[in-house]
Structure 1
Amino acid sequence: MILINVYTSYFSYMNIKRLTIIFIGLLSCFGVFAQNNPLPAHNNWIFGPSVGYQYQSGSFLKASAWGLFAPNETQYMKIDAGANFTWMGGKITVIPELGFTYYVNDFILLPFVKAELTPYTVTPKVGISLFSLIDFGVGYGFDYHTKKDFKQIKGVNLSLGVNIPLNFHLY
């Protein structure tokens, strides 16, 4: 009986030792293959839709499409094109808009500067962004052309926007 226990103990020890060596060998092989197969390259652009609210001589709902790229490791630039929707004069008015945003650094809260152009105003802004997903901006809109049967859109501009990335990647 003692001989059987010694034999099974030795056999179990040898099995564990063999399994450990085989396991370490397999991990080493996977490591070699992983080094030979780098992660796939991604497009440098991140893009998606954006929705938001803006106050500038009235309330506007904003909807746009945007693209963001990194000229270096700590700065980002975003280009967006969309429309501002408002209810003035008893009807819905749609105003097209083009914007350019420059995020100053790479951190949780990113300060930014932005310029927005519509057929009626130019609006420079500054603000902060949470991971470039939620933007809060403050600026001043300069009216250069007043729309017929519409009030001037000028003055202090406050905006809040949510950017929804469709092709976000971590590597």
Structure 2
Amino acid sequence: MKLKTLLLFAVLCCSFLLVKAQDKSWKEHNRWIWGPSVGYQYQSGNFLKVSGWGLFAPNDFQYMKIDAGANFSWMENQTTVVPEVGFTYYLNDFVLFPFVKAELTPYTITPKVGASLFSIVDLGIGYGFDYNTKKNFKPIDGFTVSVGVNIPLNFHLY
């Protein structure tokens, strides 16, 4: 029962933030859009990716996103959580945004390229380089494929 109440409270707070963001004039808006994201990545195994992110526009045609989160996996008969930070550079502001991305964990650096639908749904491919193999774990390296959904919490239409 407590979980349902907490979830309902979180949904109401998020919806209040979305409605409140539309009340401000353009000059009052923060230039950052932020929110949570969830995704899937295959890189020497399956990972559930959960993170928080912030997106800003250095000009009218390019966007940069910074994210930090965790990758969850079940490998070698154990649950593993791997922290991660990432930086994404979106090259365009049309419907399909091409991007380049770099992800860094304590064990791997992974450059990626891909495409994003309005920077909400990201599809990426890349190659991970293992530089510090996790103890009692297999190396996390090689080709990677990922899909992620970014949920903007303070998006505004103007």
* Aligned positions, number: 134
- Counting aligned pairs with the same residue, the percent is 74
Q: For 1:19-70, what per-residue CA distance to the aligned partner results, in whole angstroms no more than 9, with x for missing partners?
A: xxxxxxxxxxxxxxxxxxx935200000000000000000000000000000
Residue 147 of structure 2 aligns with which residue?
Answer: 160
Runs of 4 or more consecutive aligned structure 1 residues displaced over 6 Å after TM superposition: none
Name the amino acid aligned to 2:30: N
> Normalization by structure 2: what TM-score?
0.83
Residue 39 of structure 1 aligns with which residue?
Answer: 25
The match for 1:65 among 47, 52, 58 is 52
User: What's the Cα RMSD here?
Assistant: 1.0
Query: Would you tell me which structure has more strand in proportion to its own residues?
Result: 2
Residue 90 of structure 1 aligns with which residue?
Answer: 77
Residue 132 of structure 2 aligns with which residue?
Answer: 145
Query: Unmatched 5+ residue regions in structure 1?
Result: 1-37
Report 1 or 2 for greater relative contact order, CA contacts < 8 Å, sequence distance ≥ 6. 2
The match for 2:88 among 91, 101, 104 is 101
> Normalization by structure 1: what TM-score?
0.77
- Distance in 2, matches of 1:164 and 1:76, equals 16
Instruction: Tell which structure's C-alpha radius of gyration is larger.
Output: 1
Query: Would you tell me which structure has more helix in proportion to its own residues?
Result: 1
Residue 104 of structure 2 aligns with which residue?
Answer: 117
- Distance in 2, matches of 1:169 and 1:39, equals 10
